[in-house]
Amino acid sequence: MRTFERTAIAAGQRVSVRVPATSANLGPGFDSLGLAVTLYDQVSVESTDDGVFSAEVAGEGSAELPRDESHLIIATIRDTLGRVGFESNGLRLEATNVIPHGRGLGSSAAAIVSAVLLANALLPAGDRLSAQEVLQLCSAQEGHPDNVAPALAGRLAISWETAGSFFSTAVDVHPDIIPIVAIPSYELSTETARNLLPVSVPHHVAAANAGRAALLVQALTRDPSLLLPATVDALHQSHRAPAMAPSADLMASLRAAGFASVVSGAGPTVMTLARGRQQADRIQEQIHAIVTASPTADGWRVLELEVDTDGAKVEMHRRN
């Protein structure tokens, strides 16, 4: 990473960013595959010189999130600036959160991507980070690139790590695929879900999962008829099921009905990948029938989304 003498960024700048929700893993693509979808957080920041760091927050999580410099986006903006030799003398943040928190749709990744992109836009033009440097910072902050990569680039992101560096490539998703998400009212932290995983798995399990992950790329990009067998997972979903029994039951019921249903990220949202309009309608009917017959029916939200093809978008506002 490049280093600079520490310099204050210019006051009076205003920058906005829109970042999509993401669904990681998609079944067998553990920590390596992620899909961007059309739910968006919107964040704006204005640089000041009054020494005040404040946040206005609306939407998801607004009742719990801090309004001062401890807000994740403000803290990450300042950290990002500091890493490249700059600092801020004040920030005013405005955030409208649409991505549900603690549901496996990449809310923390969206916050980190928002912060790094906003910080980068506040830097002088000649000192801004490259796309690869942005990916490194976001991935290091999040711990892995499977959510931040599709949030940055859109589409289906295939990500990997080599010698402590993160890499990703984005590919187009077949136009027939329609993501349907069933979002429960309860949350599940990524840390809790990850702690349920075994330390090691047998060689034959890893080999089976690698085959399904490879098949999933073909299913998502060229042949959606393969989605059901391609979304079979042997690494993480069964281990996490006890922590999200209603979601695991819903996923199992949908798969038994022939639909490509998976846990979104670490859960507890369930994502089902439909092949075309008719199947999307049938999936939503099936979800409603299952959850309304369940004692845990209250609080489920069912959304039909699209694959986001653009990734995060930054807008610089002119000074008055």
Tokens (6 digits) for 161? 């790590």
Beta strands at 91-97 and 29-47: parallel, antiparallel or unpaired: antiparallel
Can you give the pLDDT of all 320 residues of the chain as single tens digits? Answer: 454 468 999 999 999 999 999 999 999 999 999 999 999 999 999 999 999 999 999 999 999 999 999 999 999 999 999 999 999 999 999 999 999 999 999 999 999 999 999 999 999 999 999 999 999 999 999 999 999 999 999 999 999 999 999 999 999 999 999 999 999 999 988 889 989 998 999 999 999 999 999 999 999 999 999 999 999 999 999 999 999 999 999 999 999 999 999 999 999 999 999 999 999 999 999 999 998 887 665 689 999 999 999 999 999 986 65
Tokens (6 digits) for 24? 């990681």
* C-alpha torsion angle, residues 128, 133, 135, 141 (rounded to 10): -100
Query: Rounded to an integer, what distance in angstroms lies between the CA atom of residue 180 and that of residue 101?
Result: 18
The DSSP letter of residue 175 is T
- Using DSSP, state whether 153 is helix, strand or coil: helix
Exposure string over 49-86, b if 16+ CB within 10 A, otherwise e: eeeebbbebeebbeeebeeebebbbbbbbbebbebbeb
Q: Which of 26, 278, 267 is nearest to 159 (CA)?
A: 26
- pTM of whole model > 0.85? yes
